[in-house]
Structure 1
Amino acid sequence: MKERVLLPSYMKTFSCVGSACEDSCCVGWTVELDKRIYKKYKNIKHAELTSKLNKGMKRIKDASASNSKYAYFVMDQQKRCPMLNEENLCSIQLNLGEEMLSPVCTTYPKILNRKGTEFELSAKLSCPEVTRLALLNPTGIEFEQSEYDLNPSWAINSVNGAQSIGGSDISWNLREFSIDIIQCRNLSVSDRMIFLGLFMNRLQVLVDKKQYESIQLLIDEYRSKLGNKNYISSLENIADNLPMQIKTLLELIMLRRKLGISNQRYLDCFESMLKGLDLDRSQEIEIRDIEEKYLFNYQEYFVPFFSDHEYIFENYLVNYIFESMFPKMDTNQIFEQYIKMSVIYAMLKMHFVGISGQDKGITIDLAIKLIQSFTRVIDHYPSYLKGLVEIITNHGFDTVAHIAALLKDRNVTSERIH
């Protein structure tokens, strides 16, 4: 069906690369089936597929079952979908056509959001091809309204309860301004995130008081601040908190080991991070030693890459804001959404700093591998993200000041670390 859709420009060129993909979406996680497609699969009479389907599917019979999550494919010993053939191609699609795929398989990595009659289409960075298309444009992500052929079987995320003022949806104004902040290249990316946090903190106050009529005035106030040189300079003077960052990093390591995450691409990156920070040694390591190694990697290897490729991190955040519909106004937990976004970004940056030390620098291919695999783990291991946020909240770090200190980049222009 043809619909008018708002989308980032990279979606116009995206197509699945199939068996050429370096991290197949049919390997390593559960493929869920809705009730409609499960019933269809049970009734298929096909020489090759009938036996595979009957052996591969399993009903969900606990309290989590629903029409949309009715069954799933049981992965084989290599954690591959049982419907994959030797060439890593889906035998259902090959034999029966795309229309016989489950909504999850048909949709991924696309994200289709709907507010009322309006559609938005983006994609998850857990797909390597999307990651390349979305992040490697130095001019930044642009958006456009376009006629787009939406597949009726795609899963749709419907958002309700948006706050309106004078008949207009204020949630879009907020998201548009959030993207404007992240794309403001007069600031470093960390300072853009801090600015966004200050704004979200004020927004939370208005939401708590149900003063929705004041939200546009708040947007106007902070848009003015975004162009105020004195205000921008005050952000640059905020100090980082390296001990806090290292403490959070160490708890991240313990969390990963506790959860037993198995995605090999991410584990490769995770192990490189440990080696790059000398955290793979068996003997006791002093916090001071970790800080020195972290700062050395940061200055010698991470900053040179970041200075030339800051747009990658900007594009990452812009895509996150758009596909997650941040900030969602159908919930009162505005600042909590910002904390989640900040923790994800801060953890990603810490991975980069560690890995850069192991590889004595960062390449584009390595950056794509890390961002894609980290996003895949965050998206598909909910307990990992939950644990990351709990690390922050359990230590009382969930304030504007603490998040700013966690995000803040170290100014290394005036010092050298040897």
Structure 2
Amino acid sequence: MEKSLIRPSFVTQFSCIGGECEDSCCYGWNIHIDKQSYKKTLAHEDLKSLAQTALRKVKKSQQQWAQVVLDAKGACGFLDANQLCQIHAKAGEALLSHTCKTYPRVSHMKDGDRYESLSLSCPEAARTILLKPDAFQFERMSVSHNKAFKATPIWAKKAHDYTIQLLLKPAQPIEHGLTAVGILMKTTERVANGELESSAIDDMFQQLVNLSDNGQLKQHFEGFNKDTETQKMQAFTSIQLWLNTNKIGRGRSRFEQINQAICAMAEDDNKITMGRINQAWQDEALPALAAHQALFSRYLFYYCYDMNFPQVDKLTPSQAFRVMLLDFFMLRCYLAVMAAHKKGLSEHDIILCFQVYHTNRQHKANYSNYVLQLLDRGQFEDLASILTLLS
């Protein structure tokens, strides 16, 4: 069966920087070794002695046959004095386990086609995706396989393509693009539920383009002015506290930098408000991000591509949009508090905010469901309320 492999240029541009990485994947997390790699490592003349102590057999599955033993500092037992992998140095990439060989590379299948991507939990991957020029040039290659696949519903295909077009519309503020996507998802949900024909998505997309062109979309966005400052602050603090319960070691010190920035904002009266975060966004973050005006457009394009929006975690289109808005909101808060703390934002600070958030996000089971419950409790239930997270 002839199918395609789709690969964005940020995948081909990525290259591991090894010991220079700010948050090495060789530290502080469970590194699983597949059965074949485990046996080959134990049999290798230059590695078998070290492997006796650096690997622990767990036999959970063929892919999780063993686990790397970390030292007192949380480092992989195969790292040398220069923080380089001895398996790679002595036996080459072929002997690396599937995890070590592929991370941060990930992929997903859609209609039998394979879409390659990178995980934002890797700092260098985040830097490549968010900051490097020409990161979103795509190449398509023909491949053959006989794997069965479930066809994507037409409503999901249309919603995915139109969402990207709305978010990347030239000269349109990202908040207006997200407002348009929120409106589009309401129509998409009705189509998914069988209430409307799929052509309704086409019609709504064209209406939204026209509204953007004549300035009425801006009026729609400015009309969502409900007072939700207290609920927004509760949402931010609740998620931050929940993320703080992560037990993983990797990225913890970087996550603490976010916590320190939040605490610093509350130093004067031991109180932090959404008003202070919004002020920091306007006064410190936005000027610092002037050199990276496409930052959130790139991020949301990646988000839609990587997560196959709106088909995210078996959510409805409207639910997937609400989770997207919450992710956007949290990242903007991170950038605001960090900018206030540092009196500006370096490229290092920007990457830290995105990478730290996504590292902790992906290690939280049922993240989307928790977020939706939290938004319901905060009465961010309808489109008008959820869009206040943008202001």
State TM-score, norm by structure 1.
0.80
Shift of residue 311, structure 1, vs aligned partner: 0.7
Structure 2 distance, partners of 1:370, 1:38, is: 35
Structure 1 residue aligned with 2:43: 45
* Aligned CA distance change for structure 1 residues 250 and 99 (closer, same or farther; 3 Å): same
Match of 2:139 in 1: 145
Residue 165 of structure 2: aligned partner: 180
Deviation at 1:206, TM superposition (A): 1.9
Instruction: Show the counterpart of 1:74.
Output: 69
1:243-282 alignment runs, 5 A limit: 243-259=230-246, 262=249, 263-278=251-266
Is the Cα–Cα contact under 8 Å of residues 162 and 171 in structure 1 kept in the other structure? no
* 1:134-179 CA-partner distances (Å, limit 9, x unpaired): 21257x75332244999x9xxxxx99423355xxxx6444322221
| Residue 100 (structure 1) shift | 1.6
Change beyond 3 A, Cα 1:370–1:177: same
How has the CA–CA distance of structure 1 residues 86 and 388 changed in structure 2, closer, same or farther, with 3 Å as cutoff?
Answer: farther
Task: Provide the rounded CA distance (Å) in 2 between the counterparts of 1:136 and 1:59.
Answer: 40
- Deviation of 1:124 after TM superposition, in Å, equals 1.4
**Match of residue 232, structure 1, among 214, 217, 229:** 217
Instruction: Identify if the C-alpha distance between structure 1 residues 98 and 258 changes in structure 2 by more than 3 Å, giving closer, same or farther.
Output: closer
**Any conservation in 2 of the 1:29–1:380 contact (CA below 8 Å)?**
no
Where do 1:341-356 residues align within 5 Å?
A: 341-356=324-339
Given that 1:269 and 1:370 are in contact with CA atoms closer than 8 Å, whether structure 2 keeps it comes out as no
Distance 2:17 2:51 in 1: 25
Instruction: For 1:50 and 1:97, locate their aligned partners in 2 and report how far apart those are by CA, in whole Å.
Output: 15
Tell me how far 1:216 sits from its aligned partner. 4.5
Say how many residue pairs are matched.
384
Does the Cα contact within 8 Å between 1:207 and 1:332 map onto a contact in 2?
Answer: no
Deviations 1:189-227 (A, max 9, x none): 22322321221232122212386xx33441342133123
Whether 2:19 is the aligned partner of 1:19: answer yes
Q: CA offsets per residue over residues 240-289 of structure 1, 9 Å max, x none?
A: 633222222222343244445642453243134313421x57x753xxx6
Pick the aligned partner of 2:320 from 330, 334, 337: 337
Aligned residue among 62, 68, 89 for 2:84: 89
Matched, 1:317 2:305: no
Cross-structure match for 2:181: 196
Counterpart of 2:164, as a letter, is I
Return the alpha-carbon distance in structure 2 between the equivalents of residues 398 and 51 of structure 1.
Answer: 58
Task: Find out whether 1:106 has 2:101 as its counterpart.
Answer: yes
The answer as to whether partners of 2:56 and 2:68 remain within 8 angstroms in 1 is yes
Q: CA RMSD in A?
A: 3.3
Note if contact 2:312-2:320 (Cα within 8 Å) is conserved in structure 1: no
Q: What's the offset of the Cα at 1:352?
A: 1.1
Q: 1:267 to 1:12 in 2, by over 3 A?
A: closer
CA contact (8 A) 2:6 2:138 kept: yes
Between the aligned partners of 2:220 and 2:170, the Cα distance in structure 1 is 14
**Alpha carbons of 1:292 and 1:188: their partners in 2 closer, same or farther (altered >3 Å)?**
same
Any gaps of 5 or more consecutive residues in structure 2?
none
Distance in 2 between residues matched to 1:384 and 1:144, nearest whole Å: 30
Distance 2:366 2:82 in 1: 32
- The answer to which of 92-101 and 69-78 deviates more is 69-78
Q: Within 2, Cα distance between the matches of 1:25 and 1:159?
A: 33
> 1:111 is paired with a residue of what secondary structure?
strand
Supply the distance in 1 between the matched residues of 2:275 and 2:195 (Cα, whole angstroms).
47
Question: What one-letter code is carried by the residue in structure 2 that aligns with 1:24?
Answer: S
Note closer, same or farther for the CA distance 1:259–1:163 as it changes in structure 2 (3 Å cut). closer
Residue of 39, 52, 55 corresponding to 1:54: 52
Q: How does 1:205-216 map to 2 (within 5 A)?
A: 205-209=190-194, 214-216=197-199
Report the Cα distance in structure 2 between the residues aligned to 1:149 and 1:58, rounded to whole angstroms.
Answer: 37
TM-aligned CA distance change 1:370 to 1:112, over 3 Å? same
Q: Does 1:134 align with 2:129?
A: yes
Q: Give the distance between the partners of 2:247 and 2:152, measured in 1 at CA.
A: 41
* CA distance in structure 1 between the aligned counterparts of 2:356 and 2:182, rounded to whole angstroms: 26
CA deviation digits over 1:82-111, x for unaligned, max 9? 222222222222222212222221111112
Q: Which residue identity does 1:68 align to in structure 2?
A: Q
Stretch of structure 1 that moved more, 199-208 or 224-233:
224-233
2:67 partner SS: strand
Q: Cα 1:85–1:203, aligned 2, differ >3 Å: closer, same or farther? A: same
Question: What TM-score do you get using the length of structure 2 for normalisation?
Answer: 0.85
In structure 2, C-alpha distance between the alignment counterparts of 1:60 and 1:208, rounded to whole Å: 45
Q: Give the Cα separation in 2 of the matches to 1:8 and 1:306.
A: 24
Identity of aligned residues (%): 21
Q: 1:202 is aligned with what amino acid?
A: T
- 2:138 is paired with a residue of what secondary structure? strand
Quote the offset at 1:322 in angstroms.
0.8
Q: How far apart in 2 are the matches of 1:163 and 1:148?
A: 19
- Does the aligned pair in 2 maintain the 1:259–1:384 contact within 8 Å? no
Counterparts of 2:315 and 2:275, CA distance in 1: 41
Quote the Cα distance in structure 2 between the aligned partners of 1:117 and 1:21: 35
